[in-house]
Each structure stands twice: as structure tokens, then as C-alpha cells.
Amino acid sequence: MKAKEKEQNKKDHGQAPGGNAEPQAGLHNGEGEREKINIVIADDHAVLRESLVALLNTQPDFLVVGSASSGTEALSLVQQHRPQVLVLDLFMPEGDGFDVLRTLDQAGNRVAAVVLTGSESQTDYVQTVRLGARGLVLKSDGPEKLFAAIRSVAGGELAFSDEVAHRVLTAMVEDTRTETRSLARLSDRERQISFLVARGLKNRDIATELQISENTVKRHLQSIFSKTGARDRLELAVMALSEATKAA
């Protein structure tokens, strides 16, 4: 096979020339089929729950593998199906959304939770984030916001609106617990990436901003997490904003 044909074959299968393919949620697999994002829904309102199942299953890269009407049932379905994403209401019987997030966090279960709520309470928002939620969508938002949030968290990103993110980060920066860790051990490039994360940029946007590859960004982030002890992008963003606030 000619060299050009080999390179084209790699591209057709999602593989970068000269490198290994990196599987990502919602992308095509090696057989040309679209990989599904497995989802569990938890909401105690039957009409909304069933409507969500039907709505999400209209997306070619989504597959709802279970729906729960209580916190206890949600935990059972997550344990049974191991979904990538949990779409979670906050206020349910037999263990509310806060209890579900707390239990998952204590068990080390890294399912990406998107909170779908009608609450307008900043306290609720901050608590869900501290308990490990990776995204938050309001029930008054359009379906496209929910779709985008699910895809973002399945790909390892965060999914908060600008307004919610600002309110949550501001509250968390003011928390004295964030003062115990800093960016002191980071290189100049790692600090630069940390502040871009705090601005809400995704990996591909950081790569464009710094004119480096997305894989290089990912390698830097692995080093940053290791050095700072941050568990995820949210904790890193809080640390970066806290340092920026002190320097101002």
C-alpha cells in the first residue's frame, strides 16, 4: 500500500498520522459506527422522566440505559449499567440528588453527573459542584443545552453556563479551604494553561490559543493535576482564580 493511502486509512479510522487513535465519546469506532454515550436519567416526575428518555434517544450518539424515580434507584442503575453520564434531578424521594452525588463521590464512582434542576439557588449550585457534579442545566433551558452538556461531560469537560460558573467559582474561591493548595510548583506553561482553564476554555481552544496540539495540552494537564492535587478542571479553575485574586 502506498504511503498516502496508509495515511488516509489512518484518518478514516480516527487515527492521527504517525500516532495511535484516541477513543472519544460520540466519535466513530474502528468499524465506522458511532459510539453511544450511555446515560441514566433520575427524576421523580414520571412525565418528565419519560419525555427525557424519548428526547435523548433522538440523538444518534445517545443511549438511555435506565431511568430512575428516586435516589436509591439511581444509585442502583449506575451500579448496574456503569453509564458514562447520569442526568440527575436534585429533589427526589429516597435520597435526593445531593445524597446521590455524595454517595458516588465517597465510592469513587466517576460517572459524569449533569444536574438538571429548576432550582435558582446559588447554594444548591455550589453544593452540587462540591459534591462532584460536572455540569448543570436548568429545566427552563432548551434541549440543545442539555445535549451539549452531556457530550461535554462525557468527553471529560465541564458544562456550566457562564452565569452559573461565575457564581459557583466566586463562592468557591472565597472558601478558605482553597488556600491550602497553589500553583507554585507549576512551570510557566502549566500556569498559563491553568489560567486558560479558569477562563472556561476547552482543550481544543487552549491548543488554538497557545498554538500547540490538543494532545500536548492533555499531557500538560496530567502534570498539572499531579503537581497541584486538583481532582479535575473545576478544582484547578478555583485554585487559579484564587491565586489571581490574591495577586490583584
Distance between CA atoms of 138 and 146, rounded to whole angstroms? 9
- pLDDT tens column, 49-90: 999 999 999 999 999 999 999 999 999 999 999 999 999 999
pLDDT at 7: 46
- pLDDT tens column, 189-233: 999 999 998 887 889 999 999 999 999 999 999 999 889 888 788
What band does 34 get if pLDDT is binned at 50, 70 and 90? low
Does the domain spanning 175-247 belong to CATH 3.40.50.300?
Answer: no
Same fold yes or no, 37-171 and 175-247: no
First CA to last CA distance, the chain: 59
pLDDT at 3: 46
pLDDT at 236: 86
Beta carbons within 8 Å of 104's beta carbon, 6+ residues apart:
75, 78, 86, 111, 113, 132
Does the domain spanning 37-171 belong to CATH 1.10.3720.10?
Answer: no
175 or 78: which leads in pLDDT: 78
Mean pLDDT of all residues in the chain? 82
- pLDDT tens column, 113-150: 999 998 888 888 888 888 889 999 999 889 999 999 99
What band does 175 get if pLDDT is binned at 50, 70 and 90? low
What band does 174 get if pLDDT is binned at 50, 70 and 90? low
Q: Residues 103, 141, 240, 176: is their CA dihedral positive or negative?
A: negative
The answer to whether the beta carbons of residues 236 and 194 sit under 8 Å apart is: yes
Phi, psi angle pair for 135, to nearest 5°: -155, 160
Q: Where are the domains of the chain?
A: 37-171, 175-247
